[in-house]
Amino acid sequence: MGLLDSLAGGMLEKMMGEKGAMAQVAMDMLNQHGGLSGVLDKFKESGLAEQAASWVGKGENLPISAEQIASVLGNGQLAEMAAKFGIDTNTLSAQIAEQLPTIVDKLTPDGEVPTDSGNLLKTVLGMLK
């Protein structure tokens, strides 16, 4: 599904500007870490289990800082993603910090990580409507 996601993400960026670019960042991050559960596991392993659980749960989403995003994803991965979009890593990590809680929240409307996360592209596209 990686090629399809990349093509769709490129089209999203052209059609929707910054929102499309953020959708592509979200798709890239999900794909690189084994889907939604893999991304959440990465945050849990980095000591941010409470934040990750709040994004999945039905209550209020706890915030995360750009610095925390950078520590979880690492400078190498951030630099690679930022280069794709022609922005610096600080800007990217700030945007991810702003959007990730909402994206995870919308991907988990029932308060649980879906077992079939294979249709993430459709879900992310639906969020942009």
Structure token pair of residue 94 = 């700030």
Of 17 and 37, which is predicted with more confidence?
37
Q: How many domains does the chain have?
A: 1
Of 14 and 85, which is predicted with more confidence?
85
**Contact, 60 vs 112, CB < 8 A?**
no
* CATH code for the domain of 59: 1.10.10.690
Q: Which domain holds residue 114?
A: 2-127
Tell me if residue 24 falls in helix, strand or coil. helix
Of 18 and 49, which is predicted with more confidence?
49
pTM of the model: 0.73
pLDDT of residue 8: 44
Share of the chain above pLDDT 90, in %: 27
- How confident is the model over 6-20, as pLDDT tens digits? 444 444 454 445 555
Q: Which residues contact 3 (CB under 8 A, 6 or more apart)?
A: none
Average pLDDT, whole number, for the chain? 77
Cα–Cα distance, 18 to 30 (Å, whole number): 18
pLDDT of residue 72: 92
Phi-psi region of 63 (alpha: psi -120 to 50; beta: other; left: phi over 0): beta
**Contact, 56 vs 108, CB < 8 A?**
yes
- How confident is the model over 50-84, as pLDDT tens digits? 999 999 998 899 999 999 999 998 888 889 888 88
